[in-house]
Amino acid sequence: MRGLEARALAVAGPLYSLRVLRAGYSRPNADGTCRADGSVTLLWGGPLTVLVDTGGPWLRPRLPGLLAAHGVAAEDVTHVVVTHGHSDHAGNLNLFPRATLLVGFDLSRGEGLYLPHGLAQGVPLELHPGHLRVVPTPGHTRAHVSLLALGTALGAVAVAGDAFESGEDEGQWQALSEEPAAQRRSRDELAAAAEVIVPGHGEPFRVVREWGTPDEEEEEEEEGGRWRGGDCEEEEEKKKKEEEEDEKKKEEGGSQRCGGEEEEEKKDEDVTSRHGDNEEEDGVTSGQGQRPGGGR
Amino acid sequence: MRGLEARALAVAGPLYSLRVLRAGYSRPNADGTCRADGSVTLLWGGPLTVLVDTGGPWLRPRLPGLLAAHGVAAEDVTHVVVTHGHSDHAGNLNLFPRATLLVGFDLSRGEGLYLPHGLAQGVPLELHPGHLRVVPTPGHTRAHVSLLALGTALGAVAVAGDAFESGEDEGQWQALSEEPAAQRRSRDELAAAAEVIVPGHGEPFRVVREWGTPDEEEEEEEEGGRWRGGDCEEEEEKKKKEEEEDEKKKEEGGSQRCGGEEEEEKKDEDVTSRHGDNEEEDGVTSGQGQRPGGGR
């Protein structure tokens, strides 16, 4: 499967625009180390200005510039949503003193005033009802969240943190997961809810909901359904087998950054040049996407 | 039980000195919000200069001054050990670009170069063998660590993150725990290993290993053992009951900051004045401490 081209994803919407300021990456080295950073995404144009994830602390010198390229200063950011408390996502919490801050399930503002909410109980946090919603997506860590931007030009966009490492992470994400079964469910939910997913360590990708061969798919469409539903028992068996496989892959890893197989080296592009490139209608090229649930 | 007096804990050692720059706190409000910040601890004097936890992002303006009061500049810090990725501990990762950074189980340096290690498999990370050791202490979060400073003037000091909220948190910590059974074990291990514990949201306290009445304790000492061991079946039953109680308390909370009961309001002292106060021999006053394991 190909992900989208290495261009900054820019999505217009009736109210909010979305821009992936910096796509994340994870590049293992032969000596067992790896170089990694998390995706950084900005939503602006409406009453709120929301930054999703802040990259690693080493991004500190460059993050203000990435914002300024969109006319956004740090003090304009109203909400910082950090999908989870890993160092490659939570590296720059202290650059936005005016913002309401969500780190996983911890919501605060000002000088450490923590606010109650229902994310830990599975209740979404509506930042802007109908437009921006934070949903709990446990698994990679227990208190992991994602942001859904609704009604954009591309449909719903899920800024998914490390619920998805990349658009081609099947078989690899489990090694980095604290709770693979929960993460499997989170991935399924996000892929059902969104047309585009921004993963934590790769380029954004379209969700492709297809099942079986092109002939079978055509047959499905004629029958009026895009999903092939097996009978319940078959689905149950399939899910059970997936969970066993997920757990096995988790044990092979160590749920710390640098789990997983080697990837082809990707060039770490100069992020400033990516902003000028994007003059396409929606900034998203076509490509295969992530099948929800199941393996390849 | 009383904790130690509200003075900055300062402990000398043959090599490293330890100073709690800022004791954490957690003060619930009647409206369901709470104000909280995590403890910040510095170890210096040896080849390494180690900061354990960085407080919340709102501490950014004051953290350099807290370090400077001990002649330490940000660029002198060689290691930043963040016990876990909650916002009241991981708020200032980006102030120490020269340091090796450990956030939970993620060890990195430079521009996001992640380094392998064994913490996720239960293997301690020896920052300075015989002196400074990071140990995995899961429970509050899955990837939670603590730092043991060995051989200080007070014996071993455990900088425990939120494995201990405070010296008087029995019955309350469970509501904030992702995995109470694991955290119970972590707490037992820390209390067995350390003479003094620096908790995440309270003053440091001495560990008191006592069991039963003063008469029984005397009898124990005469018999050569400081612990009263019940028979194995009794201990097993006791542990099982504890775990059930822990899980019950967790369900009553929501594993997000501001779980737990109301505490008496403590005055948020001016941290700069606390440095001048501490001319006592070891900076630690006597007081009751935390019984390892079991409830009150």
Q: Quick one: pLDDT band at residue B237, thresholds 50, 70, 90?
A: confident
A21/chain B closest Cα distance in angstroms: 17
Residue A149 near residue A43, CB atoms below 8 Å: yes
Q: Evaluate if residue A280 carries a pLDDT over 90.
A: no
Are the Cβ atoms of A58 and B178 closer than 8 angstroms?
Answer: no
User: Is the pLDDT at A244 greater than 90, yes or no?
Assistant: no
Contacts of B111 in chain A (CB under 8 A): 35, 56, 58
For tokens 């008087």, name the residue: B168
Residue B213 has pLDDT above 90, yes or no: no
- In sequence order, what DSSP letters do the residues of chain A get, joined into one string? -----SS--EE--SS-EEEEEE--EEEE-TTS-EEEE--EEEEESSS--EEE----GGGTTTHHHHHHTTT--GGG--EEEESS--TTTSTTGGG-TTSEEEETTEEEETTTEEE--SGGGT--EEEETTTEEEEE--SSSTT-EEEEEEEETTEEEEE-GGGSS-TT-TTTGGGG-S-HHHHHHHHHHHHHH-SEEE-SSS--EEB----S-HHHHHHHHHTT-SS----HHHHHHHHHHHHHHHHHHHHHS-SSTT-S----------HHHHHHH--SSSS------BPSSS--
Q: Which of B88, B103, B117 sits opposite A112 (nearest CB)?
A: B88
In chain A, pLDDT over 70 holds for what percent of residues? 74
According to DSSP, the residues that pair with A41 across neighbouring strands are A20, A52
pLDDT band at A108; cut points 50, 70, 90: very high
CA distance B56 to chain A (A): 7
Band (B266; pLDDT cuts 50, 70, 90): very low
User: Average of pLDDT values for A43-62?
Assistant: 98
Q: Is the pLDDT of residue B7 over 60?
A: no
> Which has more pLDDT, B245 or B232?
B245
Q: Residue B3 is encoded by which pair of tokens?
A: 């904790």
**Is residue A225 scored above 50 in pLDDT?**
no
Go through chain B and tell me how many residues it has: 296
The C-alpha atoms of residue A158 and residue A204 are separated, in whole angstroms, by 10
Is the predicted pLDDT of residue A246 greater than 50, yes or no? yes
Report the alpha-carbon distance of residue B139 to residue A189 in Å, rounded: 27
Query: Among residues of chain B, what percentage have pLDDT more than 70?
Result: 74
Residue of A35, A37, A58 to mutate, interface with B, max B Cβ within 10 Å: A58
Q: Which pLDDT belongs to residue A183?
A: 98
* Pairwise CB contact (< 8 Å): A143 & B143: no
Closest partner CB to A93 (pick from B87, B96, B114): B87
- CB atoms under 10 Å from CB of B285, counted, come to 15
Contact between chains at B90 and A92 (C-beta distance less than 8 A):
no
Instruction: For residue A243, name the pLDDT band (cuts at 50, 70, 90).
Output: confident
B14 or A98: which carries more pLDDT confidence? A98
CA distance A219 to B22: 66
Tokens of residue B122, six digits: 């239960």
Helix (H, G, I), strand (E, B) or coil at B59: helix
pLDDT band at B2 (very low <50, low <70, confident <90, very high): very low
* Predicted local distance difference test score (pLDDT) of residue A106: 98
Q: Does the beta-carbon distance from B85 to A88 stay under 8 Å?
A: no
* Distance in Å from the first CA to the final CA of chain A: 10
Q: How confident is the model at residue B212 (pLDDT cuts 50, 70, 90)?
A: low
Residue A71 pLDDT > 50: yes
In chain B, what is the straight-line distance between the N-terminal and C-terminal CA atoms, in Å? Answer: 10
Is B106 in contact with A90 (Cβ distance < 8 A)? no
- Does B251 or B16 have the greater pLDDT score? B16
Residue B210 pLDDT: 67
- Asked whether residue A178 carries a pLDDT value surpassing 70, the answer given is yes
Q: Is B19's pLDDT higher than 50?
A: yes
**Model confidence at A216: pLDDT above 60:** no
> Could you read off the pLDDT of B134-172 as tens digits, one per residue?
999 999 999 999 999 999 999 999 999 999 999 999 999
Q: What would the pLDDT profile of B27-49 be if each residue is shown by its tens digit? A: 999 999 999 999 999 999 999 99
pLDDT over 80 (residue B133): yes
| Smallest CA–CA distance from A96 into chain B, residue | B57
Asked if pLDDT for residue A270 goes beyond 50, the answer is: no
Instruction: Give the dihedral of Cα atoms A45, A48, A49, A51; nearest 10 deg.
Output: -130
Give me the helix-helix angle, B180-193 and B232-252, nearest 10°.
120
- Written as six digits, the tokens of A90 are 């939570």
Between B93, B96, B256, which is nearest A90 by CB?
B93
> What pLDDT does B257 receive?
77
3-state secondary structure of B177: coil
CB–CB of B35 and A111 under 8 A?
yes
Q: What is the rounded CA–CA span in Å between residue A23 and residue A20?
A: 6
Q: How do A79-82 and A50-52 pair as beta strands?
A: parallel
Confidence of residue B250 (pLDDT cuts 50, 70, 90): confident
* CB-based contacts of A216, cutoff 8 Å, min separation 6: A228
- Pair of tokens at residue B221: 């000492």
Point out the residue among B57, B86, B108 whose CB comes nearest to the CB of A94: B57
d(CA A18, CA B43): 43
pLDDT-derived band at A257, boundaries 50, 70, 90: confident
Nearest residue to A195 via CA among A102, A284, A296, A106: A284
Q: Dump the DSSP string for A46-102.
A: SS--EEE----GGGTTTHHHHHHTTT--GGG--EEEESS--TTTSTTGGG-TTSEEE
Kindly determine whether residue B117 and residue A178, on different chains, have CB atoms separated by under 8 Å.
no
Residue spans of beta strands (DSSP E) within B46-195: 50-52, 79-82, 100-103, 106-109, 113-115, 125-128, 132-136, 145-152, 155-159
Tokens of A177: 């997961």
Specify the pLDDT at position B26: 97
Chain B CB contacts of A86 under 8 Å are 85, 103-104, 106
- pLDDT exceeds cutoff 70 at B61: yes
Radius of gyration of chain B, Cα coordinates, nearest whole angstrom: 19
User: CB-based contacts of B160: which residues, under 8 Å, 6+ apart?
Assistant: B83, B137, B146, B190, B197, B198, B199, B200
Q: Which of A252-261, B99-108, B286-295 has the highest mean pLDDT?
A: B99-108
Query: What pLDDT does B39 receive?
Result: 98
Q: Which residues of A fall within a CB distance of 8 Å from B91?
A: 93-94
Residue A157 predicted with pLDDT over 80: yes
The answer to whether residue A284 scores a pLDDT higher than 80 is: no
pLDDT band for position A232 (cuts 50, 70, 90) = low
Residue numbers in B near A254 (CB within 8 A): 105, 120-121
Q: Which amino acid is at A292?
A: P
Tokens 């804990």 found at: B9
**pLDDT band at A230; cut points 50, 70, 90:** very low
Is the confidence at residue B262, as pLDDT, over 60? no
Residues B230/B238, Cβ–Cβ less than 8 Å = yes
